[in-house]
């Protein structure tokens, strides 16, 4: 296993560089640059001043040179500054990451636990009213967009009942970190709904698949109690694909949820990413993209390891 | 003397209306035929657009200049007349199999609806259009001016929907100059060039007004650009806010709004907290770009001179206690007030002003009107060209700053109502091209009535009164500005939740929503903001 892990880790380096280069190239090929995005299309600035600005920002260099400068900076741990405002990107990430993490960790935790439990119940009660209700609920959860849930939640809980804040993460009146817990509730729950529905549907299918296997019949034939058959044998087997699904959702820890962040005025990395793409602020986009790529690669490795640990039939490196 | 001068200008300009409305296409592009352009104008029912799409919260336009003192009585309003449009098209030999491409850059539903309406109305007279949203480098996609003003069009579009928000009326027309990079699609004319030049150098307001009217008449008669409607701006205010008699004005720019005299009903703790929007997401924008648009600009900065609410005059000094423009409009002298301070408690000096002026010359995004006035300073051209180390026209002695100009400029004084110095000690070693990238903009030290208390970028910025503000400390205890972009999508929601006391909007759905709230009020303002259709008349 150690050889497998080391080999995978070594492969990650050229993969991350290759993917980041492709992203940089794609962004660079789209029309305009950070300077043109700073302009008001209804005004006509002095072209000489703009060229001076491009030179000062290093945007006049060829694309491979700019990519190399960015990459070598990242290797040294220097993510650079935003093109539009000169803000150190590391500081920006540190400012935004807590907002994204607290939202996505809560949502990921809730959706994983609740989704697996409801999916398992749905599978065990297959064909009953409970199963139907959960299945319809799951369909609704994955079908209705997050912004709709978000807006309904705001209208009901913030504007009518006035139980929760209308949006935002911090207020000037907050003295301690815990003061803003009420602000987390709505966005985290809304983000959880769609994720829970997805996990639930996946867990139900995996559980049904597991329960139809021969080893389940064997376990029942051996006279094991039903709860033991279901939970120790069926559930353990069904867990593998569910873990894969949950694992591949981990990158939202970095990327955040753009829609939920926009609806709830939540200053996370998702909205920063979108804003930076709009502004063609390549250093910011590339940094977030690279971190996401690395997280995906690491998660994929962890999933492979976990799968092997859960399911003895899986052999790493084969 | 003034009346004589005005009359003389009017007489001189009478001849400029002579070469109007040639009925033949000037090149292979049918839109170079004025009859086709006039037909398009007659084919569009602007009143329907205003009523159906904008819910009545706009005004149909005739001429580019807004309604009010600059409105020429000689404008043709091109009333909706599809029959007349068909006649003009027939006279022009319009080929109805041709399809025109319309582009726009507002990514909102109202604009998409507008495009559909325009498509239907133009189809009714035999003009087919397709339309598409411009994305990416919008400015370059709009700029239709080839290197050779008589050359082929460098863009594919035929009509472009856009807007002009002007600080001064000359801004409506300056881009129509021959060879000037812009979206107007007009190859230029010597007559119009002369009028534009005159409008920029005429310092007598009445004479300048006549010239501006002449330009609007010229563009209107030749239908060089099709004005569609004037959009009103609304100030959104809660009933908690009391401006105590201080005026409403064009909130996109700086005027004597005297926010230090405003009050807000105290909260449960007895504090007067004003909630607004427009706080920065990642950094404060430097105030020489969008002038009075953002919360940071409005509350943080004082300016050299004061302006009337709609920027049609100078009220007096702001940081400058006195000012004097010479008879020939070539020398401006301003004397700073005694004891004026930056928010860090250091004095605002004449050196700050002169150094800021020199620094501003090389900043890339300086507002057009300010840039036009500053580039006109004697020695500025040499400094920018690198042939001089300083700007010969800028000097100071004690508290007095003297600025000499190379030529008269109609908007010099207005430019100084929108511009104020920066504390230059914080900009040592900063390349002017990278002014916005300076660390200063994370926590700016300003000169206005409020100073930054706390900046939680992306969430809110808190401003508190500056005790040493020269007009006296504000009465409001705290200003909390929510982070937002232009056209804040969360403004209505925040208003319903009692988190907005002051904001501005031009968004129809927001206006309708705010109107339904009994604890909020709307103040409509006729600001110079014209939505129009640029017409590409270059050869194709």
Are residues B229 and B50 in contact, defined by beta-carbon separation less than 8 angstroms?
yes
Q: Where are the alpha helices (DSSP H) in A38-87?
A: 47-57, 63-75
Q: Do A55 and B478 touch (CB under 8 A)?
A: no
Q: Which of A28, A33, A39, A41 to mutate to test the interface with B (most CBs of B within 10 A)?
A: A41
Give B459→chain A minimum CA distance, Å.
6
Q: Do A49 and B362 touch (CB under 8 A)?
A: yes
Residue B270: both structure tokens together: 């007895």
- Quote the pTM value: 0.87
H or E segment and range at residue B491: helix B491-496
User: CA B504, CA B252: separation in Å to the nearest integer?
Assistant: 9
Chain B residue closest to A33 (CA)?
A: B137
Residue A94: both structure tokens together: 């540190």
Give me chain A's average pLDDT, please. Answer: 86
The DSSP secondary structure of A282-308, one letter per residue, reads: HHHHHHHHHHHHHHHHHHHHHHHHHHH
Residue appearing with tokens 């705290």: B478
Dihedral sign for Cα A151, A156, A157, A162, please.
positive
User: CA A109, CA B516: separation in Å to the nearest integer?
Assistant: 41
Q: Is B356 exposed, middle or buried (0-12, 13-18, 19+ CB in 10 A)?
A: buried
How high is the pLDDT of residue B139?
79
User: CA B135, CA B115: separation in Å to the nearest integer?
Assistant: 16
Give A186→chain B minimum CA distance, Å.
15
Residues 24-83 of A with CB under 8 A from B: 30-33, 35-36, 38-50, 52-53, 55-57, 81-83
Dihedral sign for Cα A69, A72, A74, A79, please.
negative
Residues in a beta bridge with B264: B241
How high is the pLDDT of residue B19?
45
Residues of B in contact with A160 (CB under 8 A): none
Dihedral sign for Cα B45, B50, B51, B54, please.
positive
Residues in a beta bridge with A71: none
A154 touching chain B per CB within 8 A? yes
Query: Mapping DSSP to helix (H, G, I), strand (E, B) and coil, where does residue B397 land?
Result: strand
User: CA B180, CA B188: separation in Å to the nearest integer?
Assistant: 9
Q: Do B459 and A267 touch (CB under 8 A)?
A: yes
Q: Do B434 and A86 touch (CB under 8 A)?
A: yes
User: CA B441, CA B286: separation in Å to the nearest integer?
Assistant: 7
A258's torsion region: left (phi>0), alpha (psi -120 to 50) or beta? alpha
Query: Mapping DSSP to helix (H, G, I), strand (E, B) and coil, where does residue B305 land?
Result: strand
Q: Do B480 and A96 touch (CB under 8 A)?
A: no
How high is the pLDDT of residue B21?
54
Residues of B in contact with A39 (CB under 8 A): 139, 365
Q: State the first-to-last Cα distance of chain B, in angstroms, to the nearest integer.
A: 49
The DSSP secondary structure of A258-281, one letter per residue, reads: HHHHHHTT---HHHHHHHHHHHT-
Dihedral sign for Cα B355, B361, B366, B370, please.
positive
Nearest to B490 among A41, A159, A167 (CB): A167
pLDDT in tens, A238-260: 887 788 778 877 776 666 688 88
The DSSP secondary structure of A93-109, one letter per residue, reads: HHHHHHHHHHHHHHHHH
Residues of A in contact with B175 (CB under 8 A): 44
User: CA A169, CA A181: separation in Å to the nearest integer?
Assistant: 9
Q: Do A170 and B459 touch (CB under 8 A)?
A: yes
Nearest to B421, CA basis, from B249, B332, B274, B288: B288
pLDDT band at A44 (very low <50, low <70, confident <90, very high): low
State ipTM. Answer: 0.82
Residue A36: both structure tokens together: 């043109």
Nearest to A81 among B138, B183, B437 (CB): B437
Q: Do A265 and B163 touch (CB under 8 A)?
A: no
Number of helices (H) and strands (E) in chain A: give both, helices first: 15, 0
Q: Do A44 and B181 touch (CB under 8 A)?
A: yes
User: CA A162, CA B519: separation in Å to the nearest integer?
Assistant: 17
Nearest to A99, CA basis, from B1, B251, B457, B495: B457
Residue B465: both structure tokens together: 């009164």
Give A67→chain B minimum CA distance, Å.
20
Q: Do B365 and A45 touch (CB under 8 A)?
A: yes
pLDDT in tens, B471-512: 999 999 999 999 998 778 889 999 999 999 999 998 888 999
Tens-level pLDDT at each residue, chain B (540 residues): 444 454 554 444 444 444 455 567 788 899 999 999 999 999 999 999 999 999 899 999 999 999 888 999 999 999 999 999 999 999 999 999 999 999 999 988 899 999 999 999 999 999 999 999 998 778 778 886 777 777 888 899 999 999 988 899 999 999 899 888 788 889 889 999 999 999 999 988 889 999 999 999 999 999 999 999 999 899 999 999 999 999 999 998 999 999 999 999 999 999 999 999 999 999 999 999 989 889 999 999 999 999 999 888 899 999 999 999 999 999 999 999 999 999 999 999 999 999 999 999 999 888 989 999 999 999 999 999 999 999 999 999 999 999 999 999 999 999 999 999 999 999 999 999 899 999 999 999 999 999 999 999 999 999 999 999 999 999 999 999 999 987 788 899 999 999 999 999 988 889 999 999 999 999 998 889 999 999 999 998
Q: Helices A282-310 & A89-124, crossing angle to 10 degrees? A: 40
């Amino acid at each position: 296993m150690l050889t497998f892990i080391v080999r995978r880790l070594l492969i990650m380096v050229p993969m991350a560089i290759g993917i980041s280069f492709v992203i940089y190239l794609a962004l660079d090929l789209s029309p305009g640059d950070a300077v043109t995005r700073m302009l008001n299309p209804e005004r006509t600035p002095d072209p000489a001043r703009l060229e001076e600005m491009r030179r000062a920002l290093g945007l006049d260099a060829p694309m491979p040179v700019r990519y190399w400068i960015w990459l070598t900076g990242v290797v040294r741990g220097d993510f650079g500054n935003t093109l539009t405002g000169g803000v150190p990107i590391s500081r920006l990430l540190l400012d935004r990451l807590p907002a994204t993490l607290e939202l996505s960790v809560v949502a990921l935790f809730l959706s994983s636990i609740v989704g697996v439990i409801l999916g398992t119940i749905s599978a065990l009660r297959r064909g009953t009213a409970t199963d139907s209700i959960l299945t319809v609920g799951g369909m609704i959860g994955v079908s209705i967009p997050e912004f709709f849930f978000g807006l309904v939640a705001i209208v009901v809980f913030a504007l009518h009942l006035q139980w929760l804040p209308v949006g935002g993460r911090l207020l000037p009146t907050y003295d301690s970190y815990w003061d803003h817990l009420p602000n987390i509730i709505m966005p985290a729950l809304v983000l959880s709904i769609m994720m829970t529905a997805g996990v639930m549907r996946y867990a139900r299918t995996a559980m049904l698949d597991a329960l139809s296997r021969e080893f389940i019949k064997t376990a029942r034939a051996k006279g094991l109690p039903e709860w033991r058959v279901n939970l120790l044998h069926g559930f353990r087997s069904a867990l593998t694909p569910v873990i894969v699904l949950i694992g591949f959702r981990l990158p939202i820890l970095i990327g955040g949820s753009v829609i939920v962040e926009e609806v709830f005025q939540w200053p996370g990395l998702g909205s920063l990413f979108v804003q930076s793409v709009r502004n063609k602020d390549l250093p910011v986009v590339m940094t977030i993209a690279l971190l996401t790529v690395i997280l995906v690669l690491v998660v994929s490795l962890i999933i492979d390891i976990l799968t092997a640990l859960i399911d003895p039939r899986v052999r790493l490196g084969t | 003397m003034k009346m004589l001068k005005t009359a003389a200008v009017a007489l001189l300009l009478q001849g400029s209306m002579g070469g109007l409305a040639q009925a033949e296409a000037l090149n292979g592009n049918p839109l170079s035929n004025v009859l086709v352009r006039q037909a398009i104008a007659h084919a569009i029912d602007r009143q329907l657009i205003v009523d159906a799409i904008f819910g009545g919260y706009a005004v149909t336009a005739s001429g580019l200049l807004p309604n009010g003192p600059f409105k020429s009585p000689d404008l043709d309003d091109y009333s909706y007349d599809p029959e007349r449009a068909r006649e003009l098209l027939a006279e022009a030999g319009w080929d109805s199999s041709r399809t025109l491409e319309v582009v726009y850059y507002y990514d909102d539903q109202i604009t998409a609806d507008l495009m559909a309406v325009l498509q239907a109305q133009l189809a009714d007279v035999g003009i087919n259009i397709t339309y598409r949203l411009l994305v990416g480098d919008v400015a370059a996609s709009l700029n239709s001016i080839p290197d050779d003003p008589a050359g082929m069009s460098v863009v594919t579009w035929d009509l472009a929907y856009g807007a002009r928000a002007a600080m001064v009326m000359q801004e409506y027309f300056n881009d129509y100059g021959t060879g000037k990079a812009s979206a107007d699609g007009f190859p230029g004319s010597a007559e119009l060039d002369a009028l534009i030049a005159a409008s920029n150098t005429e310092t007598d307001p009445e004479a300048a007004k006549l010239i501006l009217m002449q330009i609007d008449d010229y563009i209107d008669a030749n239908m060089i650009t099709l004005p569609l409607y004037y959009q009103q701006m609304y100030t959104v205010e809660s009933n908690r806010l009391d401006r105590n008699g201080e005026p409403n004005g064009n909130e996109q720019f700086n005027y004597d709004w005297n926010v230090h005299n405003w009050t807000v009903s105290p909260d449960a703790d007895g504090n007067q907290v004003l909630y607004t929007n427009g706080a920065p997401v990642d950094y404060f924008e430097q105030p020489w770009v969008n002038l009075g648009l953002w919360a940071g600009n409005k509350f943080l900065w004082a300016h050299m001179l004061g302006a009337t609410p709609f920027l049609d005059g100078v009220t007096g000094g702001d940081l400058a206690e006195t000012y004097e423009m010479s008879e020939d409009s070539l020398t401006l002298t301003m004397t700073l007030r005694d004891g004026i301070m930056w928010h860090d408690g250091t004095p605002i000096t004449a050196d700050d002003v002169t150094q800021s002026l020199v620094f501003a010359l090389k900043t890339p995004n300086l507002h057009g009107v300010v840039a036009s006035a500053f580039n006109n300073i004697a020695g500025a051209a040499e400094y920018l060209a690198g042939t001089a180390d300083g700007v010969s026209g800028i000097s100071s002695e004690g508290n007095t700053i003297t600025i000499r100009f190379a030529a008269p400029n109609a908007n010099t004084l207005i430019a100084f109502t929108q511009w104020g110095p920066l504390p230059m000690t914080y900009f040592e070693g900063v390349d002017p091209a990278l002014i916005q990238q300076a660390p200063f903009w994370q926590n700016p030290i300003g000169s206005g009535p409020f100073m930054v208390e706390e900046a939680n970028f992306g969430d809110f910025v808190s401003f508190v009164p500056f005790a040493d503000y020269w007009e006296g400390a504000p009465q409001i205890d705290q200003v909390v500005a929510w982070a937002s972009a232009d056209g804040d999508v969360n403004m209505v929601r925040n208003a319903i939740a009692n988190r907005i006391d002051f904001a501005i909007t031009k968004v129809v759905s927001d206006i309708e929503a705010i109107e339904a709230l009994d604890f909020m009020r709307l103040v409509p303002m006729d600001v110079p903001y014209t939505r129009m259709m640029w017409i590409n008349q270059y050869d194709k």
